Structure 1
Amino acid sequence: MKVLIIGGEGQLGTVLNNLTSSQTFASFDITTIELLDLSQEDNIRIFFAGKKYDFVVNCSAYTAVDKAETDRDTAFLLNALAPGWIGKYAAQMHAGVIHVSTDYVFDGTANTPLTPEMPVNPVSQYGKSKLEGELHLMAENPDSIIIRTAWLYSPYGQNFMKTMLRLASERDELNVVFDQVGSPTSATDLATAIMRILQMASENRESFIPGVYHYANEGVCSWYDFAIMIFKLAGISCKVNAVRTDAYPTPARRPAYSVMDKHKIKEQFGLTIPYWVDSLEAVIENYQPN
């Protein structure tokens, strides 16, 4: 089996790349923006020409949430149009697609865990662009799995864990919002889940069931709780003050509630999802700041 991973320079793509060396069920090609610029359809068409993949994993995205409010065209180009183009050329070679999306497709007003079937209502340009990407992908290639995730972190790229550790090295005290809740997601755990889905498909193609799924680590916390646990596990002394969202106005609205219901992905693919604190501890134990 042959698998293409798009977006190998990002958080999830880097972790997936790290996992490929230990996988024997498939061979992997991995692209970065230098190898495959997704801003033009022709780039994608030319890249796919003459190649044959069984599956394509799209980890690429425009993730500058606040910048997307003013840089809407770029956000929609990369998050909405590019997934459709990827789906189109993957479909031509009968390849299934795994595409990563976000909790930002919801408005954050729910008070029970978000299922894949719940109505979507993005309230930011980033969220709107990601939802359009889901729709374009499914229209071009119905043989696709969309995995929405939230609060992703890893030793790579830009994320909350790394930001907190950096700020704690510069300050004695931080303000962190307590009125947004969700579930932190280790990129390692999500990447492992994606590999599980691919391995199952290599053994039985019928196990690749298209549709929308949710993945995050087990448990629930606020950003404040997340910060407290980061410092505790890292052995860092830094005072954290709990503040409301309105104390930190941002160009893009953040969902206040992003707790994911993971039953569908667990049952469909036999996944056991780790508790967020256990996964955070594993990441911090091996984290080496740049």
Structure 2
Amino acid sequence: MILVFGQTGQVARELARVLPDARFLSRAEADLSDPQGCAAAIRTHRPRVVLNAAAYTAVDRAEDEEPLATTINGAAPAAMARACAEIGAPLVHISTDYVFDGSGDRPWSPDDPTCPINAYGRSKLAGETGIRAAGGPHAILRTSWVFSAHGNNFVKTMLRLGAERDRLSIVADQLGGPTSAAAIARVCLTVAEALCQSPDRTGTYHLSGGPDVSWADFARAIFARAGPTPEVADIPSSAYPTPAARPHNSRLDNTALTRAFNLGRPDWQADLDEVLRDLGRL
């Protein structure tokens, strides 16, 4: 049995499509603000593999709620990993490009030094550290710019704002790889099955859609496909201040994932078309 933490988030909902027989734990069944309760759920269900698709994702609010974010994103995954190690079940955990400081212009490799610049990034890095310390088989999948037909994300925000305004100012000096929740779900499943057969593939991997773009160019791609077609004006991050600093360079090097699991980099443009079809916009 596959046990999934998360039920309503973007990745969890896509996992439900490809894993109809998995056991999905809602917040009422496993609240990540109670790490020991999460560990107890693993010991109770004794799954053959665990996927953690739940997290604290309110990046700006985390600046004021860092202890809570660190419990949910740091202590809970660490507790899950210890319970998984006890029963010999691999853990697949989703992390983020925000563990890096966003400097430079080359894609980040999994073994590059981490240096998060906001509370959310620090909380996710704490989870990575705790998972590795548990010593069990695991895969940490760092991803970026997640989008889907569900929940709150950049694609849905652009479609809403584009219908309301003739001109949008979008940040153009942050670059990364948009990644569909569906692609993440597919990779999670492949990696989980591989870890069950070959625990030596344990490690940290990067998963991001290609090619890399700016937020402004991502917006243009959305409007080119779905309309409406507001003017998109490029602005620097300094013109759109947020409580949490964002990395300028979110490019991720997917080479390690490809080598270990024979998985190519997802094409976010094809995945965007699928999301727009789900939303009835294509």
For the 8 Å contact 2:77–2:127, the answer to whether it is kept is yes
TM-score by length of 1: 0.93
2:245 is matched with 253
Q: CA deviation at 1:239?
A: 1.5
For the 8 Å contact 2:42–2:80, the answer to whether it is kept is no
Residue from 62, 68, 74 that aligns with 2:68: 74
2:5 is matched with 6
For the 8 Å contact 2:95–2:128, the answer to whether it is kept is yes
Deviation string for 1:94-143 (max 9, x for gaps)?
11100000000000002111110111110101101100110011112431
Any residues of structure 2 matched to 1:206-285 within 5 Å, and which? 206=198, 209-285=201-277
Distance across 2 between alignment mates of 1:223 and 1:256: 11
Q: CA deviation at 1:201?
A: 4.3
Q: Does 1:160 align with 2:160?
A: no
Q: Does 1:111 align with 2:110?
A: no
Which consecutive residues of structure 2, in runs of 5 or more, have no partner in the other structure? none
TM-score by length of 2: 0.95
Q: CA deviation at 1:235?
A: 2.7
SS at match of 1:189: helix
1:46 is matched with 40
Deviation string for 1:206-249 (max 9, x for gaps)?
16611100001121110000000001111322111111110011
Give, as a single letter, the amino acid of the residue that structure 2 aligns with 1:189: A
Deviation string for 1:63-94 (max 9, x for gaps)?
11111111111111101111111111111211
Structure 1 runs, 4 residues or longer, greater than 6 Å off: none
1:86 is matched with 80
1:24 is matched with none
* Residues 1:139 and 1:201: Cα distance change in structure 2 (over 3 Å): closer
Q: CA deviation at 1:42?
A: 3.5
1:131 is matched with 125
Q: CA deviation at 1:168?
A: 1.3
1:56 is matched with 50
Q: What is the total number of aligned residue pairs between the two structures?
A: 281
Distance across 1 between alignment mates of 2:249 and 2:209: 15
SS at match of 1:30: strand
Distance across 1 between alignment mates of 2:64 and 2:50: 30
Distance across 2 between alignment mates of 1:79 and 1:200: 25
Which consecutive residues of structure 1, in runs of 5 or more, have no partner in the other structure? 22-26
For the 8 Å contact 2:75–2:130, the answer to whether it is kept is yes
For the 8 Å contact 1:214–1:262, the answer to whether it is kept is yes
